[in-house]
Structure 1
Amino acid sequence: MSATGLRTVDWIVTDLDGTLVGRDLKIVESSLAALRRFVASGGTVVIATGRSEEAALPYYRALDLTTPAILYNGARVVDLGTGAVLHRRCLDVAAWAKLTPLFAELPSGVWPVAFAQGRAHTTGSSAALREYARRDGIDLGHIASWDDLPLDDIVKVMLICDRPELMDPTEEAVAAVVSGVTLVRSESTYLEVLPAGATKGTALRELAAARGVALSAVAAIGDNPNDLDMIQAAGLGAAVGDGAEIVRSAADVVVGPCDEGAVADLVARVLP
């Protein structure tokens, strides 16, 4: 507990990339120290990310967490210590069946990546795909055909665009053909196709209810549109200062830029 004895929330739920993790792909030192101070006060830290188990695990370990992690933008809640899946959503088989032929019709420069059986899979090769794999610290498995993946275990599809102006036509193309999915933008060139109802906010509501934690006792922080539902679900929703304008407009508070300790700024507000 702080010197004033005023920790005002029980949980801090934080996005990773662009929020807790800087452009160098490392946790911002001031934010790491602040979260450790929050945990020492009796608080709980939960990560909520679009990353997979493989991609989130190094940060989970660096934070010394034992709490469940919200992964795949809410399609999974996983105990990364044991690998146990606590909540699970998959793309509907009918949605996947409509997506796969659409991949060939998307604008040139859009590269699909499908997550199934704990791995990322693609049929293509490009600089954008290699950069995505480098950034997330994952291996991309190359498959001959999308039919090689199990119909009932597609966690999400990433549509990696070579440039931001491809995002609008890509989202329009998917929305026109595929129903029963959730579409979110996690970066300026990343469009994610998720199972119906899968958002970070939905996962946070489920996890908090399962742990008996009131949402009013939760602070959540993020920077991109995929964080909107989460920061709106929390009792205190914070936006990163250099995050998307739509997120800053919806947040209860706007803190500093990521690289200047956005999460540390939030901790200072809830643990004076």
Structure 2
Amino acid sequence: MSEKRYDDILLICDLDGTLIPRYEMIAEDNVRALNTFTAAGGVFAVATGRTPESALPYLDGITINAPSIFFNGAMLKDLSADQVLETRTLEGDLWRTFAARILYQFPRACVEVYTQEQCNIISPKENDDPRLEEEFYSVNHTTLRDMEDATWLKFFICDAPINLSFIERLAKELGIDQCSTSFYSDANYLEFVPPGTSKGAMAEVLHAMPAYTGRRVIACGDYENDIELLRMADIGIAPEDASKEAKEAADRIAPPCREPIVPWLLREVL
């Protein structure tokens, strides 16, 4: 019997909550299945809110043979060539005003500004979200003043959900909602990226590249920031323990995140 081939498939996977259970690494079963997939002609890319630097430790030993999506769609980067192919940026002085208001009005928030190079924290160090140390983030503790002239790709706030709802209201009051796309990537994580930016929008850019344009897109994701990716795919897949909105956007429901999704995908979907 001939070996199964995946020459017509582009697989794009979210990391946290999809390939990676919280505070764990990618299961060996997922690693083996991904490498089987690429060895048989499949193309694999990551789509994550992380920086490339914080994603790479999880991807050791995995063949990634297409450019990947970072900062929830604000960057497309070829990891093998260490080359940034596209970015989307937050423009205007209004972002500095918004950041200053959050720092003043929400003194316990962890406020992060993402540039192409790194994660910059402009709130007090004691406010740092534990994930930063536990999940391989290299951070630069700095001030809003020092970030004023930098090029921002993503603006991120970690705080109690009730406070984030007030920050959403502040964004509307200042007009931030008119010059950004915002979403939750967890109950206490509110993110702002440039207008029209999403994992799904950048996946469209990736799919339009000549090397991938003829392939069917299979996408996997678990949260609000994955919805556009799931919708653009030919087949969108969400784990059973994904958010309600992600499951509604998906075509297929996989087992929970703790059960490796890629072997299931190769067996049940492809």
Q: TM-score, normalised by structure 1?
A: 0.89
1:43 matched residue in structure 2: 42
Correspondence list, 1:1-272, <5 A: 3=3, 5=4, 7=6, 9-125=8-124, 129-143=128-142, 145-151=143-149, 153-161=151-159, 163-177=160-174, 178=176, 179-214=178-213, 217-271=216-270
Separation in 1 of the partners of 2:167 and 2:2? Answer: 48
Shift of the 104–61 alpha-carbon distance from structure 1 to 2, 3 Å rule, reads same
Contact 1:10 1:43 (C-alpha < 8 Å) held by counterparts? yes
Q: Comparing 201-210 with 103-112, which one deviates more in the overlay?
A: 103-112
Contact 1:93 1:151 (C-alpha < 8 Å) held by counterparts? no
- The Cα shift of 1:150 comes to 5.0
- The Cα shift of 1:175 comes to 3.1
Letter in 2 for 1:166: N
Contact 1:11 1:43 (C-alpha < 8 Å) held by counterparts? yes
Separation in 2 of the partners of 1:6 and 1:82? Answer: 26
Contact 2:45 2:67 (C-alpha < 8 Å) held by counterparts? yes
User: Secondary structure of the equivalent of 1:249?
Assistant: helix
Letter in 1 for 2:223: N
What does the per-residue CA deviation read over 1:100-128, in whole Å, with 9 as the maximum and x for residues that have no partner? 22223444432211012411112323565
User: Secondary structure of the equivalent of 1:185?
Assistant: strand
Aligned sequence identity (%): 28
Separation in 1 of the partners of 2:187 and 2:238? Answer: 17
Shift of the 14–2 alpha-carbon distance from structure 1 to 2, 3 Å rule, reads farther
Separation in 1 of the partners of 2:122 and 2:258? Answer: 35
What does the per-residue CA deviation read over 1:182-240, in whole Å, with 9 as the maximum and x for residues that have no partner? 10111121111111111000100001102353487010000010000001001000111
Separation in 2 of the partners of 1:6 and 1:269? Answer: 15
Q: Comparing 262-271 with 81-90, which one deviates more in the overlay?
A: 262-271
Separation in 2 of the partners of 1:222 and 1:150? Answer: 33
User: Secondary structure of the equivalent of 1:193?
Assistant: strand
Separation in 1 of the partners of 2:14 and 2:30? Answer: 12
Letter in 2 for 1:172: R
Contact 2:54 2:138 (C-alpha < 8 Å) held by counterparts? no
Letter in 1 for 2:42: G
Q: TM-score, normalised by structure 2?
A: 0.90
Name structure 2 gaps, 5 residues minimum: none
Contact 2:5 2:42 (C-alpha < 8 Å) held by counterparts? no
Separation in 1 of the partners of 2:146 and 2:204? Answer: 34
User: Secondary structure of the equivalent of 1:25?
Assistant: coil
* CA root-mean-square deviation: 2.3
Contact 1:34 1:263 (C-alpha < 8 Å) held by counterparts? yes
Letter in 2 for 1:183: S
Count of residue pairs brought into register by the alignment: 268
User: Secondary structure of the equivalent of 2:21?
Assistant: coil
Contact 2:76 2:86 (C-alpha < 8 Å) held by counterparts? yes
Q: Comparing 248-257 with 205-214, which one deviates more in the overlay?
A: 205-214
Contact 1:68 1:79 (C-alpha < 8 Å) held by counterparts? yes
Separation in 2 of the partners of 1:265 and 1:31? Answer: 9
Contact 1:155 1:194 (C-alpha < 8 Å) held by counterparts? yes
User: Secondary structure of the equivalent of 2:128?
Assistant: helix
